[in-house]
Amino acid sequence: DTGVSQDPRHKITKRGQNVTFRCDPISEHNRLYWYRQTLGQGPEFLTYFQNEAQLEKSRLLSDRFSAERPKGSFSTLEIQRTEQGDSAMYLCASSFSGSLSTEAFFGQGTRLTVV
Amino acid sequence: QKEVEQNSGPLSVPEGAIASLNCTYSDRVSQSFFWYRQYSGKSPELIMSIYSNGDKEDGRFTAQLNKASQYVSLLIRDSQPSDSATYLCAVNRHAGTALIFGKGTTLSVSS
């Protein structure tokens, strides 16, 4: 396990469809974060987990978005009834808690295009 | 006021020069500070972290933190064309919260 893995890398979907993305964190990392990034912007925080507990959710995360991390391992992010405004890069990052260092490492991202 | 602010650039420097990237943050209790590099179409890559006031050096990179001024910077010495990327500043209020990112500064190094 050399890093954070995201699947799929690219997703094209029609407006109104549901999509689900998966993230596998670095194996010893207990924290997992989801971010969304659009062109010319920095990553915008969506939500984060410590183990299986979802500890924080951004106001950006509408009711159409849901994230899970069963058993504190991989995580999924689902977007229901996609809209064109959901087109973005969805980034997952993981880190290890328990020390001052909270360095987070990103996966390659999932690029979503809603047509 | 945005939580983390960066000049979007572009910042253009010639090869071999020092590039200086700046970031300010609004939450005075922030404890951890990070610089990420992001190439076009790729995900962010962590290049530096800093937690205490002062300078931290790693190869050609130096991060500088001034908590009193709520300011963090990144210096890149001997800039190379391969350093051309967007540099993202990220701030963590404390270990139990998420990283908040600035919009990033685009750096262009010309040969």
Mind listing the pLDDT tens digit for each residue in B59-98? Answer: 999 999 999 999 999 999 999 999 999 999 999 877 667 8
| Chain A nearest C-alpha distance from B99 (Å) | 8
Of B4, B43, B104, the CB nearest to A91: B43
Q: What pairing do the DSSP bridges indicate for beta strands B105-110 and B11-14? A: parallel
Q: Say how far apart CA B83 and CA B76 lie, in whole Å.
A: 9
For chain B, how far is it from start to end, CA to CA, in angstroms? 37
Per-residue pLDDT, A18: 98
Q: Say how far apart CA B87 and CA B103 lie, in whole Å.
A: 9
pLDDT digit string (tens) for B1-40? 679 999 888 999 999 999 999 999 998 888 899 999 999 9
The residue among B55, B53, B54, B49 whose CA lies nearest residue B33 is B49
* Residue B12 identity (one-letter amino acid): S
Per-residue pLDDT, A100: 60
Angle B24-A62-A59 (CA atoms, 0-180°, nearest 5)? 30
Q: Do residues A60 and A44 touch, judged by C-beta distance below 8 A?
A: yes
Interface test with chain A among B43, B58, B88, B92, by most A beta carbons within 10 Å: B43
Q: Say how far apart CA A57 and CA A50 lie, in whole Å.
A: 12
Would the CB atoms of A42 and B46 count as touching at under 8 Å? no
Whether the CA torsion B27, A93, A37, A58 is positive or negative: it is negative
Q: Say how far apart CA A76 and CA B74 lie, in whole Å.
A: 34
| Chain A nearest C-alpha distance from B7 (Å) | 12
Per-residue pLDDT, B103: 96
A56 in contact with chain B, both atoms CB, cutoff 8 A: yes
Which residue in this structure is represented by tokens 């992001």?
B38
- Confidence tier at A101 by pLDDT (50, 70, 90): low
B92 in contact with chain A, both atoms CB, cutoff 8 A: yes
Q: Say how far apart CA A106 and CA A100 lie, in whole Å.
A: 19
Q: Does the pLDDT value for residue A1 go beyond 60? A: no
| Chain B nearest C-alpha distance from A82 (Å) | 22
pLDDT digit string (tens) for A31-90? 999 999 999 999 999 999 999 999 888 887 889 999 999 988 999 999 999 999 999 999
Tell me which H or E stretch contains A10: strand A10-13
Residue B95: list chain A partners with CB under 8 A: 97, 100, 102
pLDDT digit string (tens) for B37-66? 999 999 999 999 999 999 999 999 999 999
Per-residue pLDDT, A96: 87
The residue among A37, A81, A76, A39 whose CA lies nearest residue A60 is A37
Per-residue pLDDT, A97: 79
